[in-house]
Amino acid sequence: MTIPPATLPFSTHIREDKLAAGSQVKGREMCCGFGDNDKPEFLGSMPNTAPLEADVPLGHSIQLPIELWEKVIDVLADEWGDDHWSYETYEARLHVLGRVCRGWHARCRFRACEKLDADRMDKKEVYRLIDALKQDPERCRAIRTVSFDFGRMSVGLFGTFAVCMAHKLPQTERLTFWQCEWEPRQLHVQVFVHITLAFESVTVLELDHVRFPSAVVFGRLVRALPRLSSLKCWNVSFDMHGDVAGRIWELHPLCLDSAELWNSNDVVDFLVLVGAQLRDLIWHDEGLEKCQKLLSVTAESLSSMHIDLADYVFFEGLFPSDFPTDFTSAVNLSVFSISSDFEDLDGAAKILCRAFLPKLIEVTIISTFDYTRTLAFSNSYALLDRAFSSRQYPALKKVTFKLDWETRRSRVMEVISEESWGSHFASNLPALHMSGRLV
């Protein structure tokens, strides 16, 4: 039996939402979990922000699959959670989205509870936030992301938050810093112990426009997160560099599932000095000589790599001549992708034609911007077709050419069709096409 969206009970602290058999949530109640007898337990009365006219009479409504409208909300929530430039807060956007109907309101509230924003707070506001969280353990257990937008906010207040919230955020997975000027001696060394106690479950650290006083302090923050597996650094720098290699990194090497880097050369130097091991590398940086330097350390552990040069090539007008084109040292690389302007397909060809990667299984070339109407560059196609059909890639099973074209709605009809796009590459890469590996 199909259950109308307006009567779907959602848990606010478990990701796998369950349905209680035979139970419904009243219009102004929110289900927060299930008790010992599988009966829903309610947070109590809450204001219904969905206007009555938003709820179409059920007899005439279109019943979308639950998974579909959940996915719509989740996609938007994930996108908004990473948007630091919007004037609207993450919670405010979900509040508006939740007004579509009561069922959407429930899911939006569930997603809003997963993220805690501490944006440009002063000392009183931080303590008020701490007191509110201490009085609401259900809220603490629901939090998956803690985000600090510092502005002029002192990093010392982050230390205060960590000290007061030790062992109170058991499900937090992601910690983000935004616009942080970390001054020397703002955090005592012992505070990093409390950071571990407060954020011991964190697996993802995202730093965006952050300046550390030294590489040592950056290392302490990384070391304070024992389960860290993913590091994203956009425009991260150190005032003092120094030698961070030491006994601690030898005994406990830094091993990450993924690292994403842009304009963060100091972080690259740090990863090289401590001998970091990476499985997946996403490279956005125009400091391309640093890519080769990092590759020399992570080559054996690296299994997946993405290079995004679309913006760089767009502004510079050509593929960088100093780009490290030989990835042969990455002997275990199985997945490789590159984003670049279509008019610079020659750059991707240079990289792929020089490397010998015996374990490479999948290659994706992403063409960006709106220059795709001039489909040419047959020399690059010949180089690629020859390389993909040679002994350079004996394990290769799949080659994909994707188009990433952001355009105005009025110009949508100018975008090349999927059929024409596929036919173009099939005719210019005949050997690859005949092998069945061109997707």
**What would the mean pLDDT of 206-225 be, rounded to a whole number?**
94
Q: Would you say 407 and 415 are in contact if contact means Cβ atoms under 8 Å apart?
A: yes
Task: Provide the phi-psi class of 151: left if phi over 0, else alpha when psi is between -120 and 50, else beta.
Answer: left
E strands of 156-229, at which residues? Answer: 174-181, 204-214
Range from 1-10, 84-93, 285-294 carrying the lowest mean pLDDT: 1-10
Q: Would you say 131 and 103 are in contact if contact means Cβ atoms under 8 Å apart?
A: no
The residue with greater pLDDT, 376 or 270, is 270
The residue with greater pLDDT, 408 or 366, is 366
Can you spell out the DSSP letters for 116-134?
EEEES--HHHHHHHHHHHH
**Packed helices 288-298 and 265-273: angle between N→C axes, nearest 10 degrees:** 20
Query: At residue 54, does pLDDT exceed 50?
Result: no
**What would the mean pLDDT of 25-47 be, rounded to a whole number?**
35
Percent of the chain with pLDDT over 90: 41
92 pLDDT band, cuts 50/70/90, is confident
C-alpha separations of 20 from 31, 37, 105, 419 in Å? 10, 10, 19, 47
CA distance 159 to 107: 32
| Residue 197 identity (one-letter amino acid) | L
Query: At residue 371, does pLDDT exceed 60?
Result: no
The residue with greater pLDDT, 428 or 379, is 428
**What would the mean pLDDT of 172-201 be, rounded to a whole number?**
92
78 pLDDT band, cuts 50/70/90, is confident
**What would the mean pLDDT of 75-95 be, rounded to a whole number?**
77
| Residue 63 identity (one-letter amino acid) | Q
**What would the mean pLDDT of 298-319 be, rounded to a whole number?**
75
User: How far is residue 11 CA from its own chain's centroid?
Assistant: 25
The residue with greater pLDDT, 406 or 263, is 263
**What would the mean pLDDT of 240-263 be, rounded to a whole number?**
85
What integer pLDDT is reported at residue 232 of this predicted model?
96
Domain boundaries, the chain: 1-113, 305-439
322 pLDDT band, cuts 50/70/90, is low
**What would the mean pLDDT of 54-82 be, rounded to a whole number?**
70
CA distance 110 to 177: 23
> What average pLDDT is seen over the chain?
79
Task: Please give the structure tokens belonging to residue 107.
Answer: 């899911």
Geometric angle at alpha carbon 259, from 255 and 264, rounded to 5°: 120
Tell me which DSSP letter residue 386 carries.
H
Geometric angle at alpha carbon 261, from 83 and 326, rounded to 5°: 140
pLDDT digit string, tens, across residues 372-425: 445 555 578 888 999 999 999 999 999 999 988 777 778 778 788 888 888 989
346 pLDDT band, cuts 50/70/90, is confident
Highest mean pLDDT among 35-39, 123-127, 151-155, 402-406: 123-127
What integer pLDDT is reported at residue 112 of this predicted model?
84
What integer pLDDT is reported at residue 305 of this predicted model?
95
CA distance 235 to 207: 8
Query: At residue 362, does pLDDT exceed 60?
Result: yes
Q: Would you say 118 and 149 are in contact if contact means Cβ atoms under 8 Å apart?
A: yes
CA distance 108 to 69: 11
CA distance 81 to 56: 30
Return the closest-CA partner of residue 397 out of 350, 309, 336. Answer: 336
What integer pLDDT is reported at residue 16 of this predicted model?
34
9 pLDDT band, cuts 50/70/90, is very low
**What would the mean pLDDT of 164-180 be, rounded to a whole number?**
94
pTM of model > 0.85: no
Give me the count of residues in the chain.
Answer: 439
Return the closest-CA partner of residue 405 out of 310, 315, 319. Answer: 310
CA distance 202 to 20: 31
CA distance 390 to 358: 11
What integer pLDDT is reported at residue 160 of this predicted model?
93
CA dihedral 141, 142, 148, 153 (to 10 degrees): -60
Return the closest-CA partner of residue 324 out of 303, 300, 311, 305. Answer: 305
Geometric angle at alpha carbon 378, from 374 and 382, rounded to 5°: 150
The residue with greater pLDDT, 107 or 205, is 205
The 3-state DSSP composition of the chain as helix, strand, coil percent (nearest 5) reads 40, 20, 40
The burial of 247, by beta-carbon neighbours within 10 Å (0-12 exposed, 13-18 middle, 19 or more buried), is given as exposed
**What would the mean pLDDT of 319-323 be, rounded to a whole number?**
56
Residues with Cβ < 8 Å from 438, sequence gap 6 or more?
A: 399, 401, 425, 426, 429, 432
What integer pLDDT is reported at residue 436 of this predicted model?
93
